[in-house]
Structure formats: structure tokens, C-alpha cells
Amino acid sequence: VSPPSAPDGSLVPVPVALKPRGGGNGTGTGSSPELQQEAEGLAL
């Protein structure tokens, strides 16, 4: 994503790390249903 220019030039600092939730592969794609469910929390 190309950030638009801000008057004060402030941007969200890039995260130091992106970690998988619950010990998955962490790619963010093709995650297991269990990992997705953990990510969703409850949906009752």
C-alpha cells in the first residue's frame, strides 16, 4: 500500500514483527480452520 502524504508526514510505524496466531504458519494465507477459528474468537 502506498501511503498518501500527510501534512505532518506521520505514518504508522511498521510493526517489528508479524506473528502467527496460535502457532500457525503465519503466512496469513492458507491458514488452518482451527487457526481461523481462534482468530475469530466466539461466534455464537
Partner 1 sequence: ASDPSGAVNFVAMVDNLQGDSGRGYYLELLLGTPPQKLNILVDTGSSNFAVAGAPNADLTSYFNTKESSTYKLLGTVVTVKYTQGSWIGTLGTDVVTIPKGINGTFTINIVAISESENFFLKGVQWHGILGLAYDALAKPSSSVETFFDSLVNQANIPNIFSLQMCGAGLPVTGTGTNGGSLVLGGIEPSLYKGEIWYTPVEKEWYYQVEILKLEVGGENLNLDCKEYNSDKAIVDSGTTLLRLPEKVFSAVVGAIIQKSLIQEFSSGFWSGVQLACWAKSEQPWTFFPEISIYLRDENSSRSFRITIFPQLYIQPAFETSQNLRCYRFGISSSTNALVIGATVMEGFYVIFDRTQKRVGFALSTCAEVGGSPVSGIDGPFETTDVASTCVSTISFHEPLLWIVSYALMSFCGLVLLVLIVLLLLPARCRRHYSDNGIVNDESSLVRHRWK
Q: What is the rounded (10 degree) CA torsion for 30, 32, 38, 44?
A: 100
**Cα radius of gyration rounded to whole Å, the chain:** 16
- CA–CA distance, 27 with 20 (Å, rounded to integer): 7
Q: From residue 1 to residue 40, what is the string marking binding to partner 1 with x (rule CB under 8 A)?
A: x-xx-x---xxxxxxxxxxxx--x-xxxx-x---xxx-xx
Q: How many residues bind partner 1 (CB under 8 A)?
A: 31
Binding positions for partner 1, rule: CB under 8 A: 1, 3-4, 6, 10-21, 24, 26-29, 31, 35-37, 39-44
